[in-house]
Structures are given as C-alpha cells and as structure tokens.
Amino acid sequence: MSDLQQIPLKTITGGESTLADYQGKVLLVVNVASKCGLTPQYEGLEALYRQYHDQGFEVLGFPANNFLGQEPGTDEEIVEFCSTNFSVSFPMFSKISVAGDDQHPLYAALTAAAPTAQGDGQAMRDRLTGFGLQVNADPDIMWNFEKFLIGKDGSVVARFAPNTTPDDPIITSAIEAALA
C-alpha cells in the first residue's frame, strides 16, 4: 500500500475513507467546483466513470473552494447540485482545501508526486491572468478541475491541466494504459 493510499479522507456523506478503499483500481482524482466556468466537466467526468468503471476505474471528486469562492456550498448542497445538474454517480468527498496554507495532505502528496500538469496548462494560465487573476505556480494546483491519474499500485501516473477535458485523448489514452 502506498503512502498516498493511507491519507485519511471523509466522504461527502461523512464516512471515513482512504484511497486504499479503491486499492487495485485506476483513479482519476479531481478538485471540483459548482460555480466555475469548467463546471460542465462534471458531465465528461461522469461519462468517463460510466465508460471505464466496469474495468476497475473510479473518478473521485474533491470539492474545493480555493478559487474565487467557486464552491461555496455545504457538502449536502454539493451533492444536490451534482446529482440534479449532472447525474453524478461517481464517489464524492467532503470539501477540502487543495492549495494554500490549509492544503489537505492528499493534495500535498499529489502535487509533490506530479509537480507539473500535462495538457495546455499555459493557455489556461494565460486566460486566468488575462482576467487579472493571480494564478498559483507549479507545483501548486492552478485552478478547479485539475486531474491526477493514480495507477492500480497507488502511485501517481499523470497530472492534467484544468482545461484538459475528460474526453481529451491525452486523458483517455492514459486511463486505458493504466487499466491494461
């Protein structure tokens, strides 16, 4: 079991958990938000989950309110939003901080294991700074919907920029390789 798999987590319904609960599966860990321009990615994440779930794949959603207050809701409100608007059925976890002084240990470990993201992160960075926003530098999480692919052995395989959509071939090919 990897160190990453031992970090205590809380499900969005209040249960205790760790990534070890998903041992032997391929995981896509995503920091999500309900009021972000990237929020429609929930639809693509759900589609990925449904496409690959029977092969041993899980999407794990971690709501975070680190970027412009784009996830202000309670865990209960987040569940309602996700189920009503995107029919989310993949596992969701209690809201955490993914950046800053109060960064959750899971995200500290993820960013240490994969300090830079694949995909066109520079385009996302340029877009955000174009709006006058301060953007975190690597290895910190840039924005909502950054994605980490974790292999069956519990190690980080890849990290994807927030604007890399769930159906992007860079993600789907990485998932398929990790499942093989």
Q: Tens of pLDDT along 77-120?
A: 999 999 999 999 999 999 999 999 999 999 999 999 999 999 98
HSE-CB at 175 with a 13 A cutoff on CA atoms is 24
The CATH number that applies at residue 79 is 3.40.30.10
CA distances from 140 to 58, 69, 80, 85, 119 (A): 23, 17, 29, 29, 16
Q: Give me the domain span that covers residue 47.
A: 4-179
Residues annotated as catalytic are 36
- The pLDDT of residue 161 is above 70: yes
3-state secondary structure of 16: strand
How many domains are there within the chain? 1
- The pLDDT of residue 65 is above 80: yes
The number of beta carbons lying within 10 Å of the beta carbon of residue 129 is 11
Name the pTM for this structure. 0.96
